[in-house]
Amino acid sequence: MRPEMTPTLARMAGARHRDYKKPMKWFAIPQLFRYERAQRGRLREHFQWNCDILGESGLGAEVELLAVLDMALRKLGLERKDYVLRISDRVFWQEFLEKHQVAEEKHYDFFQAIDKIEREKPEETRLKLGDLADEVFSAIEKGEGNARLNEVRERCAALGLAEVVEIDLRIVRGLAYYTGIVFEVHDRQGGDASHRRRWTL
């Protein structure tokens, strides 16, 4: 039983990458399994749509995947007023940690605190973030991002996606193998982001 496709794809690309021109574009809809407590909308067995681009050093891959995601949602019958593509950059927070000289062994806990910021009470997050809390919450509220995020947003706008792409520094994804641009799609129902339904695609 496969828990995810990332290791399989990494092995495939590692073994044959010299045979193919870059960037490599690949998709799959595999049957996968999670070893965790089943929840509403999150079952142990599920099918997952993967779209991957390998060998692209710039931000073009992220822009293309956001465009593919937007197209897929519209093909499924949603309108752009129904959803928002929330983008962030773990490099932003990595540079933040380096600026504040946070020890590397504390980086994981920091990213976990950011990842859970919508699901926990603000005082709990502040306790976890300690002296960094005020600056973290200020950065999130401003939502300005960095040069990388601005480039992604501008390139998405050039493709007609300005109304659905917004910077949200709360999006970091919990796993350590996320190292750069990250994004999630949320529906706009419920107003407050903490009550939006979320699809991780």
State pLDDT tens for residues 34-91.
888 888 877 889 888 999 999 998 999 999 999 999 999 999 999 999 999 999 999 9
What DSSP designation does 21 have? P
The tokens describing 132, both together, are: 């960094």
Q: Per residue in 97-127, pLDDT tens?
A: 999 999 999 999 999 999 999 999 999 999 9
* Amino acid, res. 193: A
Which helix (H) or strand (E) covers residue 88, if one does?
Answer: strand 83-89
**What's the N-to-C CA distance of the chain in angstroms?**
20
Percentage of the chain beyond pLDDT 90 is: 69
Q: What is the mean pLDDT of residues 155-182?
A: 92
Residue 177 has pLDDT above 90, yes or no: no
**How confident is the model at residue 190, as a pLDDT?**
53
Domain boundaries, the chain: 1-57, 58-199
The domain covering 58-199 belongs, at the CATH homologous superfamily level, to Bira Bifunctional Protein; Domain 2 (3.30.930.10)
Mean pLDDT of 187-197: 54
pLDDT tier at 146, thresholds 50, 70, 90: very high
